[in-house]
Amino acid sequence: MCQLLAMNCNTPTDMRFSFSGFSQRAGNTGDHTDGWGIAFFEGKGLRHFVDYEQATTSPIAELIRHYAIKSKNVIAHIRKATQGRVLLQNCHPFVRELWGMNWVFAHNGNLQDFQPKLHAQFHPVGDTDSELAFCWLMQELAKSHAGLPSVHELSLSLQELAQRISPHGTFNFLLSNGQALWAHATTDLHYIERQHPFTTAHLSDQDLSLDFSTCTTAQDKVCIIATAPLTSNEQWTRLPPQSLHVFQEGQLLLRLPPPPNAGTANPAPLAAS
């Protein structure tokens, strides 16, 4: 399995503290050593870094731990390969363009017997179940909406689509288009909302504390989403199985509960021919 990390804020924020703790799980406090990646939105633009070296020793990860890249939406991933070889094209997050926007996706889990029909414009470059799921999600979003719909409409579509993949296995994922951040859980995904008054947080994976009150304003709002809580002295909320949470401007915007038939053992076919 892999580990996921995301940040959604109302003002461009530097994620070095969270990434520093998170990347320890790639060899020091965890065994997620089969590559890593991170994507930072800056407006519509994107900085996308991937590496098949482990995040504790990768020179690019070292740069990310020390260079303050400020962003309102970030998705990161450290990989422990289940499907797909240890190759650059199999490192998450994956990126595609749809409706003139970048879309970024990372997945934690393992999908079995998952062979959706890809009949449109999105095809995997690598050989992971994760990129395949992302391509299918993008294909179905493109089919369902002629152009970019509202975040609310997108969320309803995504929750419906996620429920068609979930019966194939563990499908914790993070998705962002720079406007909002979607987090779908089937097993482990936690989040925390930080806002004024900011306090001091202590990392679980590293002996490092940060007093957020020294680097924030009273207006700042930040949500962090991670497979397992990153700090030891804060209260993280676990996402219920099959729920989709939508974050925008540093706040939880929507919480879509699992639909009544979630987790059915006999999913509908993923695409008609």
| Residues in contact with its own copies by the rule CB under 8 A | 42-52, 59-60, 63, 67, 87-91, 95-102, 120-126, 142
Closest CB to its own copies among 45 and 257?
45
Tell me the closest approach of the beta carbon of residue 46 to its own copies, in angstroms: 7
How crowded is residue 64: how many other Cβ atoms within 10 Å of its Cβ? 23
**Backbone angles phi and psi of 229, in degrees to 5:** -50, 140
Listing DSSP states for 44-92 in one string gives TEEEEEEESS-TTT-HHHHHHHHS--EEEEEEEEE---SSS-SSGGGPS
> Of 50 and 223, which has the nearer Cβ to its own copies?
50
What is the C-alpha separation between 166 and 171, in angstroms, rounded?
A: 6
Cβ at position 122, least distance to its own copies in Å: 7
Question: Are 237 and 118 a contacting pair, CB within 8 Å?
Answer: no
Minimum distance of its own copies from residue 42's CB (angstroms): 5
Closer residue to its own copies in complex, CB, 63/268: 63
Element (H, E) at 11: strand 3-14
Cα–Cα distance measured from residue 162 to residue 184, given in angstroms and rounded to the nearest whole number = 8
Rg (CA), the chain: 18
Residue 237's beta-bridge partner residues?
Answer: 191
**Toward its own copies, which CB reaches closer, 143 or 255?**
143
Min CB(141)–its own copies separation in Å = 12
Active-site annotation holds for 223: no
Q: Order the strands of the 251-256 sheet from edge to edge.
A: 94-98, 101-108, 172-176, 181-184, 244-248, 251-256
For its own copies, give the closer residue by CB, 122 or 198: 122
Do residues 25 and 265 touch, judged by C-beta distance below 8 A?
A: no
Residue among 41 and 198 whose Cβ is closer to its own copies: 41
Q: Give me the least distance between CB of 264 and its own copies, in Å please.
A: 31
Nearest C-alpha neighbor of 104 from the set 40, 168, 194:
40
DSSP single-letter state for residue 258? P
Q: Give the shortest CB-142-to-its own copies separation in angstroms.
A: 7
CA distances from 22 to 25, 32, 179, 246 (A): 6, 10, 24, 22
As annotated, the active-site residues are 2
